[in-house]
Chains A and B, each alone.
Chain A
Amino acid sequence: MLTLTSPVETPLHRLPAGAKLAALAVFTLVLFRLSSPLPLAGAAALVAALHLPWGRTFALHALRMLRPLWPFVAVVALWHLWTRDLHGGAVILLRMVAAVAAANLVTMTTRLSDMLAVFETLARPLSPILPPRRLALAFALVIRFIPTLSDRMALLAQASRARSPRRPGWRLAVPATLAALDGADQAAEALRARGGSD
């Protein structure tokens, strides 16, 4: 989600986040109602077409963002080749790629704060048990600290490499966990210094 921000600003960025998320929900629902390859290919083509007008950089970035999907595509394709169910395989693959690409497109073109505002609105009915501002703060903290934690992991790995010929591997699990707990303490103190979460 963190690297999913678009390198270029597109007109899609200006659409309201709620509308984009609603359209995504409807689109995904439709994908699951379609059960033959041809309309699904049409849906996938529609998603692809939505990427193209914003330039080469944007489209290539979006394509790169689909990279985590390819192993699944390979497994599903092999399985359906093995079972000789080409129709079923095509349906699943088209549906999967179209759904993920559409979701990525929305994420790439929506600012995080807008996305959080939508969640805050949607979570309003839950407010007696889950205050929306607390929820928003939790989102923000997660987004703030994921890159920090991965930096911390990288530093631990470097510290280990500096003094050990072996790959660090699981040996970093304990120090990384402790670092995360330390970070949580520090964040709690920083919250307290500026008024806590209420």
Chain B
Amino acid sequence: MGGITLQDAGYSAGGKVILSGLSLHLEEPRIGIVGRNGSGKTTLLRLIAGLVAPSAGTVRVDGINPFADRKGALSRLGILFQNPEHQILFPTVEEELAFGLRQQGMPQRQALEAARAALAAEGRGHWAKAPVSTLSGGQKHWLCLQAVLLMAPATILLDEPFAGLDLPSIARVSRRLAALPQRLVTISHDTAAVAGADRVIWLEAGRIRTDGPPAEVLPGFTAEMARIGEADADADLAG
């Protein structure tokens, strides 16, 4: 079966339940996941990406288990971490880009050539040898997205893709993302980032609160956030 399927999936860590009873079938091209801080958005994304195994239920992507079958997962799922520092593994730009290709079985030389070609196509050929430590925050973000795109996964999971970017960068990245043929699953606490999605899932305390088109989900979400904001919004600990 195509798409991402969660069946009664849950995740607990250190005795705390972070996600529970999630049953979802995701196949729309643009999916948004909204929720407050600590609602389990990032954990859900990591669960789908196969970075963590569910402690209950199952997660399947096109029928495969993304946690156990990493080879199968690589062509199906790419994930953009919220913090580029947590994603970048290599000292130079070209090595960072080539790594994923090499993991997909491309020989090192070809992988490096593909990385340089991708940089040149974006007018950044001179970045190839640059140390990643010299890049600005926005440039690191761009590099991470590019590294994921080079692997050409069918679905890209985006964790707060606009966090920390300045306004021109946000415009550029959203234009870039909108043009992608891939399925995108975007998590955000900002309704603007998911307003154009085909489907929005509102996550609250590790469970699905509402699930539907943005016009149905977002007004309720916005109203609830405003209501909580009136009260003390931030006293509860996550989990």
Contact = CB atoms under 8 A, between A and B. Distances in A.
Interface of A: 111-113, 140-141, 143-144, 147-148, 151, 186-187, 189-196
A192 B89 contact: no
Interface of A is mostly: helix
A138 to B, nearest CB: 11
B25 interface: no
A144 B88 contact: yes
Contact of B91 (A143, A189, A194): A143
Given A147-B133, A148-B133, A193 B91 contact: no
Given A194-B147, A195-B70, A140 B90 contact: yes
A190 B90 CA distance: 11
27 contacts: A111-B129, A113-B95, A140-B91, A143-B91, A144-B90, A144-B132, A147-B131, A147-B133, A151-B133, A186-B85, A187-B89, A189-B51, A189-B86, A190-B87, A190-B88, A190-B89, A191-B89, A192-B51, A194-B99, A194-B147, A195-B70, A195-B71, A195-B74, A195-B99, A195-B100, A196-B70, A196-B103
B51 A193 contact: yes
Interface residues of B, number: 29
Interface string B81-116: 100011111111001000110011000000000000
B99 A113 contact: no
B79 interface: yes
B49 interface: yes
A196 B70 CA distance: 8
B143 interface: no
B151 interface: yes
Contacts of B133: 147-148, 151
A109 to B, nearest CB: 14
Given A147-B131, A195-B100, 9 more contacts: A113-B92, A140-B95, A148-B133, A187-B86, A189-B86, A190-B88, A194-B99, A195-B103, A196-B103
